[in-house]
A and B are shown apart, each in its own frame.
Chain A
Amino acid sequence: MSEPLLQVNAVTKTFGGLHAVFQVSFHITPGEIIGLIGPNGAGKTTLFNVISGFYAPNKGQILFNGQDISGKPPYKLAVLGIGRTFQVVKPFAGLTVLENVIIASFARHPKRRQAEQHAWMILETTGLADRANAQASSLTLAGRKRLEVSKALALEPTLLLLDEVVAGLNPTEADRTIELILSLRDQGITILIVEHIMRVIMNISDRVVVLNFGQKIAEGVPRDVAKDSGVIQAYLGEAPQ
């Protein structure tokens, strides 16, 4: 097996007295799609924020390509190659779709012209090219989620963190997004995805990490995790005696 791209070592993040994430460890090898699941409030988004630099971990360590990145600010991690989307989408609402993606392209293409060309290319892969000149605020939810992915992609990340990019989409839109995620993996991008829709997670993930109350309760290939009694309990509660 190759060197892990991302290594999360016993990471803990507390808010006041609450352990939002408690001693979670896992790793991602290059080219994998890892699903991160768990009931509401399990700490998935907090873990995302720790990995992408929005929160510094209280304890533990995060290694990216062997380099310790714990506590580095998001804008440095973005340049290192970690792209992320937000569960609550954050478009630059007053700007056009194209401008949104141009801004993200500056990280790799500091010249305006090259950035614009690169942005067009990204919009074509994500299927937003026809809306390029529209205001970001005029997009539908599906469009905004695509824009989130486009912006993260424009960074040319090696690791892409996707926070619920399928939730809230209708089945056709969802299928298109899944296709997109798989094609990104084929291009060599490693993906960590949070999703509530089990159909999606179980179908596209190579491995799944399950969180509950901030702790990792299971990890493995989707088939095994789905049978794990701890996971079933976390989602469905105790089985009656």
Chain B
Amino acid sequence: MSRKYLLLILSFGALLAVPSVIHDTFFLRIITEAILWIGLAISWDVLAGYTGYLNFGHGAFFGIGAYTTALLMKLCGWSFFLALPFAGLAAGALAVIAGIPTLRLKGAYFAIATWALSRAIQQVALVMDITGGPDGMRLPTFLHPDFFYYLMLGVVAAIFALYWFLLEKAPFGLKVKAIREDDQSAMSLGLNPTWIKLQAFILSAVPTGILGAIYAYWITYIDPASVLGDLVTDQAVVMAVFGGLGTLIGPAIGAIIIYLFKTYFWAYLSDYQVLYLIILGGVIAASVVFLPNGLWGTISGYLQTRNAVKQKPVPQEKIDKGVHHV
């Protein structure tokens, strides 16, 4: 266990040093975006992997964050850091409004409802004047790749740490898992499933909105296709499923692999761009069939089985003495 966290801290340290080593802005941009996708994949997984609710409108929260920032900066003349919390707030509010009616539904209906919601929001952005319609919006430019790299890294690391604490350490994580495993049993033990699922939904949505805000300010141009399109959701889903649902490390690994593949593909095989979505679909189908627990789930499952063979039951003398107590 501790080795895993050491590895995480070491890779975070290595990432901190990246801008001082790599001066090529193209590469820095690729790494910044890879980190963004880690954030999107783990925030999607909070709901999908931990509560079992597949949100096919994840992109809507990203887009809401992006548009909120763009509107506040352009129309109200706010600074980026003033607008940033409101992007998270707007995404959280959307989660509350969408979640209260839909989280009572069974998983499949929730998936359909969130997908429809994201389509509706994209349409709204397309027809409104204030959002620039299909032309999108241009934000005040701030061209400092290093700044955005560190901002993205800091925010995604903070999201990761927050999720890790809440889902793996705090009581909240076990409660969420209880509802995923059996909501009736959870209810009989004093847990209100709808309320806990709503909390998880907000926990998934707010960071996604903040990531949308950073993306908008970084890229300086957003339109309904880029921040509210299907691809945002689809890629996050593929990354999380390929990496391994219900863990934090799995989707992060999935995000890195899929994103690097995509970038390589678009950079060097751009004539075959049309194939990208086909391959993405193939990857998801293949990983559902051959790696139902995802890449990380399969690896850690293998390690667990190996350890379980060595594992002994809690010895009776220890139980009698009560020395196993924490």
Say how far A100's CB is from chain B's closest CB, in angstroms. Answer: 8
The residue that A107 contacts in the complex, of B184, B190, B313, with Cβ under 8 A, is: B190
Q: Residue among B186, B189, B316, B319 with the most chain A CB within 10 A? A: B189
A73 and B171 contact, CB distance less than 8 A: no
A133 near B314 with CB under 8 A, answer: yes
Contact B171 A110 (CB under 8 A): yes
Is A211 close to B, CB under 8 A? no
Are A86 and B175 within 8 A (Cβ)? no
A130 close to B174 (CB less than 8 A): no
Q: Is A113 an interface residue (CB 8 A)?
A: yes
In whole Å, how far is B309's beta carbon from the nearest beta carbon of chain A? 13
Binary contact track A78-98/B, C-beta < 8 Å → 1, others 0: 110001101000111111000
Q: Contacts A90-B185, A112-B171, A117-B326 given: A78-B190 contact, CB under 8 Å?
A: yes
Cβ–Cβ contact A130 & B316, under 8 A:
yes
Residues 124-142 (chain A) with a chain B CB within 8 angstroms: 124, 129-134
A230 at the interface (CB under 8 A from B): no
User: Which residues from B are CB-within-8-Å of A129?
Assistant: 314, 319, 324
Shortest distance in angstroms between A46's beta carbon and chain B's nearest beta carbon? 15
Q: How far is the CB of B82 from chain A (nearest CB, A)?
A: 36
| B314:A74 contact, CB within 8 angstroms | no
Is residue A202 contacting chain B, with contact meaning CB distance below 8 A? no
Q: Does chain B have a CB within 8 A of A102?
A: yes
* Interfacial residues of chain B within 293-317, with CB under 8 A of chain A in the complex: 311, 313-316
In the complex, whether B270 has a CB less than 8 A from a CB of chain A is no
The reply to whether the CB of A13 lies closer than 8 angstroms to some CB of chain B is: no
Check if B190 sits within 8 Å of A95, measured CB to CB. Answer: no
- The residue that B185 contacts in the complex, of A92, A94, A99, with Cβ under 8 A, is A92
**Chain A nearest CB: distance from B191 CB in Å?**
6
B185 and A151 form a contact (CB under 8 A): yes
What's the Cα separation between A193 and B16 when bound, in Å? 61
B79 within 8 A of partner (CB) = no
A94-B177, A129-B319 in contact; A113/B186 too (CB < 8 A)?
no
Smallest CB–CB gap between A173 and chain B, Å?
A: 18
Residue contact B311 to A106, C-beta cutoff 8 Å: no
Residues of B contacting A107 with CB < 8 Å?
189-190
Cβ of B20 within 8 Å of any chain A Cβ, yes or no, is: no
Q: Does B187 contact A (CB under 8 A)?
A: yes
Task: List residues of chain A with CB within 8 A of the CB of B188.
Answer: 52, 54, 74-75, 78, 83-84, 86, 152
Contacts of B185 in A (CB 8 A): 86, 90-92, 151
A-B contact count (CB 8 A): 101
Structural contact, B189 and A95, CB atoms closer than 8 A: no
A194 at the interface (CB under 8 A from B): no
A residues within 8 A CB of B171? 106, 110-112, 115
- Chain A, interface size category, equals 35 or more
Q: Which residues of A contact B175 (CB under 8 A)?
A: 103, 106
Question: Within 8 Å of chain A (Cβ to Cβ): is B192?
Answer: yes
Residue from B180, B182, B190, B324 in contact with A155 in the complex, judged by beta carbons closer than 8 Å: B190
> Which A residue sits closest to B195, measured CB to CB?
A75
Which residues from chain B contact A155 at a C-beta distance below 8 Å?
A: 189-190
A110 to B, closest residue via Cβ: B171
A102 to B169, CA, bound (A): 13
Q: Find B324's partner among A95, A110, A120, A154 (CB 8 Å cutoff).
A: A120
Q: Is A219 an interface residue (CB 8 A)?
A: no
Counting CB contacts under 8 A, is A104 at the interface?
yes
Q: Is the CB of A74 within 8 A of B178?
A: no
Closest B residue, CB atoms, query A92: B181
Q: How far apart are the CA atoms of A154 and B189 in the complex, in Å?
A: 9
Kindly list chain A residues whose C-beta atoms are within 8 Å of the C-beta of B315.
130
**CB neighbours of B177 from chain A (8 A):** 92, 94-95, 99
Among B169, B177, B314, max chain A CB count under 10 A is at: B314
CA distance A155 to B187 in the complex (A): 12
Contact surface of A with B, Cβ cutoff 8 Å = 52, 54, 73-75, 78-79, 83-84, 86, 90-95, 99, 102-104, 106-107, 110-113, 115-117, 120, 124, 129-134, 151-152, 154-155
Interface CB pairs A-B, < 8 A, 22: A54-B187, A74-B187, A79-B190, A86-B185, A86-B188, A90-B182, A91-B185, A92-B178, A92-B181, A103-B174, A103-B178, A104-B189, A106-B171, A112-B170, A113-B326, A120-B326, A129-B324, A130-B316, A132-B314, A132-B324, A154-B189, A155-B190
Closest 3 CB pairs of A and B: A78-B190, A107-B190, A92-B181
Query: A78-B187, A106-B190 given. 5 additional CB < 8 A pairs?
Result: A73-B187, A75-B191, A95-B177, A99-B177, A117-B326
- Chain B interface residues toward A at CB < 8 A: 169-171, 174-175, 177-178, 180-182, 184-193, 311, 313-316, 319, 324-326
